[in-house]
């Protein structure tokens, strides 16, 4: 489970056996949601928050922080996705302890 970011207590990561579309999971305590990065002709067009089957979704405050991070880092997340799942390069974890 490659961990990408720790943002104000929200752990952002991929599962090791992920699938398209490009997305990341955000976990805070026992809550978890995922954010899908939507492309149109290779350009990031939208970020969509989704629930994770069998998990309680992030609470409103954590959802907002999670979406803030994913919106700010969408290009970097996409690069890390392809590095990990296509090239086999393990990403480094980035600690972010202040609001973006």
47 within 8 A of 38, measured Cβ to Cβ = yes
32 within 8 A of 58, measured Cβ to Cβ = yes
State the residue for tokens 């090791």.
Answer: 16
Query: Residue 85's Cα: distance from chain center in Å?
Result: 14
Q: What is the pLDDT of residue 77?
A: 96
Range of the domain at 54: 3-96
- Report how many domains make up the chain: 1
Listing DSSP states for 31-56 in one string gives EEEEEEEEEETTEEEEEEEEE-TTSB
What's the pLDDT tens digit per position in 42-90?
899 999 999 999 999 999 999 999 999 999 999 999 999 999 998 999 9
21 within 8 A of 28, measured Cβ to Cβ = no
Tell me the whole-structure pTM to 2 decimals.
0.92
């Amino acid at each position: 489970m490659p961990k990408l970011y720790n943002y104000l207590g929200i752990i952002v990561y991929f599962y090791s056996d992920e699938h398209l579309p490009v997305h990341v999971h955000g976990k805070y305590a026992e809550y978890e949601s995922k954010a899908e990065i939507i492309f149109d002709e290779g350009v990031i067009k939208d970020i969509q928050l989704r629930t994770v089957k069998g998990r309680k979704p992030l609470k409103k405050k954590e959802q907002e922080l999670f979406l803030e991070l994913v919106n700010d880092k969408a290009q970097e997340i996409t690069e890390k996705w392809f590095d990990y799942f296509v090239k086999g390069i393990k990403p480094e974890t980035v600690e972010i302890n202040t609001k973006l």
